[in-house]
Amino acid sequence: MTDLFAVLAYGEISAFYRLAEEAKLSPTVRGKVAVAKMAAAEMEHFKRLEAALSARGADIFEVMAPFVRALDAYHASTDPSTWLESMVKFYVGDGIAADFYREIAGVLSPDVAEVVRDVLAETGHSEFVVDEVRRAVAASRSERDRLTLWGRRLLGEAITQAQYVMAQRDELTELVLAATGDLNGIATLFERMQASHAERMSVLGL
Amino acid sequence: MTDLFAVLAYGEISAFYRLAEEAKLSPTVRGKVAVAKMAAAEMEHFKRLEAALSARGADIFEVMAPFVRALDAYHASTDPSTWLESMVKFYVGDGIAADFYREIAGVLSPDVAEVVRDVLAETGHSEFVVDEVRRAVAASRSERDRLTLWGRRLLGEAITQAQYVMAQRDELTELVLAATGDLNGIATLFERMQASHAERMSVLGL
């Protein structure tokens, strides 16, 4: 499961730096603190993955290297220009990760599943985001329309980069195939992820 | 001890964001990871202070407000332009904080002293910095000269902002006076801090 841990580990690092970067858009110290706490939680996850990889004799920097490009590309193509776009991105990203875990959990060995569950569990910081976004979109129709498109773009880019990663890494492709049965299964997996993305958007009032 | 906890808490938040910002200068993923871990440790400290303040009935955002200007000014006036300058800044800043703790520990009540010790203890990430800096300055005389001046500036700015904060906050002034005896005591405190700063610089090869 080196590839799985490695992609998650680089995901935590890049999420950490994105959160720290995007928090600059926060209009309040309160917002900055909330985001810094989310970022610190990502690093706790990273340390868990680092320990799991090192217990398997893998060098984390070496095994993360193949995933740098796709994850950096995802973040570069979804660079928020407002604080609300950042908030939606945190929330949607967390949700997609949690969905992905639920999809593959059944085919993981118990020790691997435990690590993955710990690091992909929803971070519990979502309430902060939900409140901020719901209030803003209730007050402005144009904000709502803009964030709705933004949410769609986030999912689209995530799927694009996930496909790119899977095309390159056999271990991950086999994992997803094992979880879904076959190529049809992968198509329905993407449909399920789209459905639960739509539910999350509606929680945000979008 | 509201003021003491509050200034430390805002210090953790601003250190967190500075670390995250400065890590962008890191030439390697390894450097970025080391810095992200330091930043996450700052947030653990922040949470400890938040809990201590909230146990005393204080709102952390309200009590931090008076310290925002001085700490932001310190960071703005010591904005590193290279990765090595960042590294020296982490190391020196950690050291100054630890010195400050040792100076005031004797006059704190045991429960306050425990919190302060936990959050000001050297973060243990220093070895990473020492290795990077020593290697660079051994290889380049001009780098060594530049970083020596940089280190002096860091201490000077820290003392300037500390004096500004003390002039505004009676509680902190009284704390330092209690620890040092009188105004002469404060002068010798600054001398001791300068001496231990010089020792730290020599550990870095500066």
pLDDT digits (tens), chain A, 206 positions = 799 999 999 999 998 998 888 887 888 888 889 889 889 988 999 999 999 999 999 999 999 999 999 999 999 999 999 989 998 998 898 888 888 888 888 889 999 999 998 888 765 666 778 888 999 999 999 999 999 999 999 999 998 888 888 888 888 888 888 888 888 888 888 889 899 999 999 999 99
Tokens, residue A115: 């690590």
Chain B interface includes A21 (CB < 8 A):
yes
List Cβ neighbours of B183 (8 Å cut-off, separation of 6 or more): B177
pTM, rounded to two decimals: 0.84
Asked if residue A14 lies in contact with residue A72, where contact means CB atoms within 8 angstroms, the answer is yes
Rounded CA-CA distance B93/B159 in Å is: 11
Report the C-alpha gap between B105 and B125 in whole angstroms.
23
Q: Tell me which chain A residue has its CA closest to the CA of residue B9.
A: A33
What CATH number was assigned to the domain covering residues A1-204? 1.20.1260.10
pLDDT band at B96 (very low <50, low <70, confident <90, very high): confident
pLDDT of residue A125: 64
Long-range Cβ pairs for the range A66-70 (8 Å, 24+): A66/A3, A66/A6, A66/A168, A66/A169, A67/A6, A67/A7, A67/A10, A67/A11, A67/A165, A68/A10, A68/B29, A70/A161, A70/A164, A70/A165
Domain boundaries, chain A: 1-204
pLDDT value at residue B125: 64
pLDDT class of B123 with cuts at 50, 70, 90: low
- Interface confidence (ipTM) of the complex: 0.81
- The beta-carbon neighbor of A43 closest among B17, B21, B40 is B40
Q: Are B94 and B123 in contact (CB under 8 A)?
A: yes
B68 interaction partners in chain A (CB closer than 8 Å): 29
Mean pLDDT of B158-181: 87
More confident residue, A174 or B23: A174
| Chain A nearest CA to B130, separation (Å) | 21
Nearest-angstrom CA–CA distance, A46 and A10: 8
pLDDT computed for residue B128 by the predictor: 76
Q: Is A68 on the interface with B (CB under 8 A)?
A: yes
Name the residue among B13, B24, B37 with its Cβ closest to that of A32. B13
Average pLDDT, chain B: 89
Binary contact (B43, A39; C-beta < 8 A)? yes
